[in-house]
Amino acid sequence: MITVNPDGKIMVRRCLVTLRPFRLFVLGIGFFSLCFLMTSLGGQFSARRPGDSPFTIRTEVLGGPESRGVLRKMSDLLELMVKRMDTLARLENSSELHRAAGDGRFAVDRFPPGAGLMERIQAIAQNVSDIAVKVDQILRHSLLLHSKVSEGRRDQCEAPSDPKFPDCSGKVEWMRARWTSDPCYAFFGVDGTECSFLIYLSEVEWFCPPLPWRNQTAAPRASKPLPKVQAVFRSNLSHLLELMGSGKESLIFMKKRTKRLTVQWALAAQRLARKLGDVQRDQKQILVHIGFLTEESGDVFSPRVLKGGPLGEMVQWADILAALYVLGHGLRITVSLKELQSNLGVPPGRGNCPLTMPLPFDLVYTDYHGLQQMKQHMGLSFKKYRCRIRVIDTFGTEPAYNHEEYATLHGYRTNWGYWNLNPKQFMTMFPHTPDNSFMGFVSEELNETEKQLIKGGKAGNMAVVYGKDASIWKLQGKEKFLSILNKYMEVHGTVYYESQRPPEVPAFVKNHGLLPQPEFQQLLRKAKLFIGFGFPYEGPAPLEAIANGCVFLQSRFSPPHSSLNHEFFRGKPTSREVFSQHPYAENFIGKPHVWTVDYNNSEEFEAAIKAIMGTQVDPYLPYEYTCEGMLERIHAYIQHQDFCAAPGLALPGAQAPRSPFVLAPNATHLQWARNASLAPGAWPPARSLRAWLAAAGRACTDACLDHGLVCEPSFFPLLNSQDAFQKLQVPCDSTESEMNHLYPAFAQPGQECFLQKEPLLFSCAGASTKYRRLCPCRDFRKGQVALCQDCL
């Protein structure tokens, strides 16, 4: 209980302190109610203005049930507020009376006659109710006015029958039934009327012709292209580290790697700049969206960074970011769906509408997760801009899996393919499929001093096992070949464990646990042998080991692993057969650095161990996996690859121009005629082309390698004609055009020639004993298989 001071002054102060918060609260409730009403309804009286930003467009809703629904909600809210406040008001008034009993002057001053707290609340409610009535009257007047205007335009708001827009009427029908299915339609001004449908379908999308009564000059004009800026090589990567952000273990790993390689990137940029000379390079605006790191895709990699999980993808992404930045291009990096939507200009809703602005990026690098997210949120803009996308695809996507219709009809559809992109838009970690572009990554390059130190510090009997995850050590039969290895070498492991030694690791293995990258490098510099168990496939670690002077020993697969017999490849958009754990190391490096043996053959395995112990090797790193090699390759792609240009593909037909080929002097293949002109801007230049007729059952990838060349799918259109078969003296009794990823080809039993009908199905991969495929091959730069001699 509160006592009253004789003079009443202290009591007044206490009452003021007690009363003010409550009355401010009541006043706030009234003010909030008024603001809520005006905010909810105020934007509905203004039509869309031509000069408004896409993010401030107001929806025109005239006196519909939505407006009255807001009024009803306000009325219910006020009634509930009055009921709940009644009890509080009684308690407060009662308290006021008790506290003011000894001071009549205070009570009179604070409460004018007839103005109790409950009356004030009811007055606020009445004021808001009066406003609601007036708003409803305005809405009714607007509805009447709108109906008159609609009568005048009724004939102008019917779906036109224009042969140039055959889908217009069907789209209008769809909008009638489904326009409320996504809030983005209302964001663009759709309100359920025929006119709003046609305005949207003609001005936001492009299915209907422009309405004649619309002010076309007020439509937002396409933004003028920014003046071209020349790209300048960068050597300071501190700003890139800021762009990469933080908060995820995966990003921390990538930033550490980038920081560690800063000096090598700077030296590589200097060397490439001297090589390119005065070549003009336009700066590109590039969005990099790493989809597999987003929370929406699960971000399974970040929690596993510190537990021995696979790091190959993060190694590659870190190097891609560094290469793009060092080349001097403008970068924006996103690892969340919210960031992606903001950078693309995605309208609010569920992703059915186009972007609110032209795509501000020349190129977008992403992965399959990011590709799916972009398709879900870009609406029709995805189809418009997909030619700018580059998909980082570790294992590759073959054309048969990429073409949606063909994949569905012929059993090639998987969870990862069917995107109908140009196959060269997929960029791989290793150059295992020429249908895609080889992106790659980098390994740390040693100078001559470091190489000599490594050679002098090698332990001739030390082996390191390739495998940080304990599950890799569960390989069946590993005990047999590990015991043989232990007879000759000291075996080391880097297997992750938390509290005790992983039970899968034999007792004789000296396990160091999961090592940071610099410490792992030091371990490799001491070791003689780096041995793989058969998994993981095609990771960066074997190249790092070879670059640090190790011999890499791996298992030969018989039969080869593929989607037909191995769970890891099942569902991936490739039919490639893998004959060893690391095909690139086997085919492009080979002995003495890489040995591939049958682990099930104890004698062969033991003989290989003895031979390796007596072999001296120098540290070796292929040029295409150096910083300079990656910069050179990505520069060539950005400079020359343009998948948005109108395709100049030669479709089969009687009127097809004669191919500019001549039969080689030895009559084995076609080559570019010396006097034949080159198509301007064509890349790779056609002068590097050599065309061979492969043996039956042989893929073009293998047929070109047999001649020391690589298959070049961009040359297929040049060969897709009867003339090419005739110059190769192939007896075609008939020639047909079909969709088939093996065409152009010659079927020998029936003397039939087949041409390709679908440009997206030109493929270096694939073989059949029924066909002899016509294969386009090209030369390549030493140590840079992705580029031809004249490609830079």
In sequence order, which residues have a C-beta less than 8 Å from that of residue 609 and are 6 or more positions away?
A: 484, 485, 488, 489, 529, 553
Range 149-162 average pLDDT: 63
35, 39, 40, 46 alpha-carbon torsion, rounded to 10°: 150
Range 128-136 average pLDDT: 52
Top pLDDT among 682 and 539 is at: 539
Confidence check: pLDDT of 136 > 70: no
Range 305-318 average pLDDT: 82
For the segment 591-636, what is each residue's pLDDT rounded down to a tens digit?
999 999 999 999 999 999 999 999 999 999 999 999 999 999 999 9
- What is residue 674's predicted lDDT score, i.e. its pLDDT? 80
Closest by CA position to 622, among listed 544, 551, 555, 550: 544
Confidence check: pLDDT of 533 > 70: yes
Q: Provide the pLDDT confidence category of residue 655 given band limits of 50, 70 and 90.
A: very low
Closest by CA position to 776, among listed 684, 702, 704, 695: 704
Confidence check: pLDDT of 749 > 70: yes
For the segment 353-372, what is each residue's pLDDT rounded down to a tens digit?
999 999 999 999 999 999 99
- What is residue 45's predicted lDDT score, i.e. its pLDDT? 36
CATH 3.40.50.2000 residue window(s) in the chain? 448-620
Contact 237, 322 (CB under 8 A): yes
Q: What is the mean pLDDT of the chain?
A: 82
For the segment 336-347, what is each residue's pLDDT rounded down to a tens digit?
999 999 999 999
The SS3 call for residue 173 is helix
Contact 658, 762 (CB under 8 A): no
Q: Looking at the DSSP assignment, which residues form a beta bridge with residue 490?
A: 462
For the segment 72-120, what is each residue's pLDDT rounded down to a tens digit?
555 555 555 555 555 544 444 444 434 433 443 333 333 344 445 556 5
Residue length, the chain?
792
Confidence check: pLDDT of 693 > 90: yes
Confidence check: pLDDT of 44 > 80: no
Distance from C-alpha of 297 to C-alpha of 291, rounded to nearest angstrom: 7
Contact 585, 554 (CB under 8 A): yes
Contact 588, 785 (CB under 8 A): yes
Range 695-704 average pLDDT: 96
Closest by CA position to 534, among listed 573, 487, 488, 566: 566
For the ranges 65-74, 462-471, 588-597, the lowest mean pLDDT is seen at 65-74
- What is residue 392's predicted lDDT score, i.e. its pLDDT? 97
Q: What element of type H or E holds 72?
A: helix 65-99
Top pLDDT among 662 and 88 is at: 662
Q: Provide the pLDDT confidence category of residue 470 given band limits of 50, 70 and 90.
A: confident
Contact 403, 758 (CB under 8 A): yes
Distance from C-alpha of 320 to C-alpha of 323, rounded to nearest angstrom: 5
Q: Provide the pLDDT confidence category of residue 540 given band limits of 50, 70 and 90.
A: very high
Distance from C-alpha of 387 to C-alpha of 447, rounded to nearest angstrom: 40
Give me the helices (H) in 154-214, please.
Answer: 168-178, 183-187, 194-199
Cis status, amide bond into 559, omega within 30 of 0: yes
Q: Provide the pLDDT confidence category of residue 271 given band limits of 50, 70 and 90.
A: very high
The SS3 call for residue 289 is strand
At 49, list the tokens. 């203005």
Q: Is 206 exposed, middle or buried (0-12, 13-18, 19+ CB in 10 A)?
A: middle
Q: Provide the pLDDT confidence category of residue 489 given band limits of 50, 70 and 90.
A: very high
In 447-484, which positions are buried (b, 16+ CB within 10 angstroms) versus exposed (e)? eeeebeebeeebeeebbbbbbbbbebbebeebeebbeb
Please report the beta strands in 110-156, taking only residues with DSSP state E, as ranges in sequence order.
none
Give backbone dihedrals phi and psi of 437, rounded to 5 degrees, phi first: -90, 135
Range 738-747 average pLDDT: 97
DSSP 540: S
Give the side-chain half-sphere CA count within 13 A for 790. 11
For the segment 230-270, what is each residue's pLDDT rounded down to a tens digit?
999 999 999 999 999 988 889 999 999 999 999 999 999 99
Q: Is 79 exposed, middle or buried (0-12, 13-18, 19+ CB in 10 A)?
A: exposed
Residues 170, 175, 176, 178, CA torsion sign: positive
Closest by CA position to 187, among listed 431, 379, 392: 379
For the segment 8-42, what is each residue's pLDDT rounded down to a tens digit?
433 333 333 344 444 444 445 554 444 444 444 43
Contact 480, 496 (CB under 8 A): no
In 371-382, which positions are buried (b, 16+ CB within 10 angstroms) versus exposed (e)? bbbbbebbbebb
pTM of the full structure: 0.79
Question: What CATH homologous superfamily does 448-620 map to?
Answer: Glycogen Phosphorylase B; (3.40.50.2000)
Confidence check: pLDDT of 497 > 70: yes
Contact 761, 736 (CB under 8 A): no
For the ranges 112-116, 757-761, 773-777, the lowest mean pLDDT is seen at 112-116
Top pLDDT among 226 and 446 is at: 446
Secondary structure in 3-state letters for 563-606:
CCCCCCCCCCCCCCCEEECCHHHHHHHCCCCEEEECCCCHHHHH
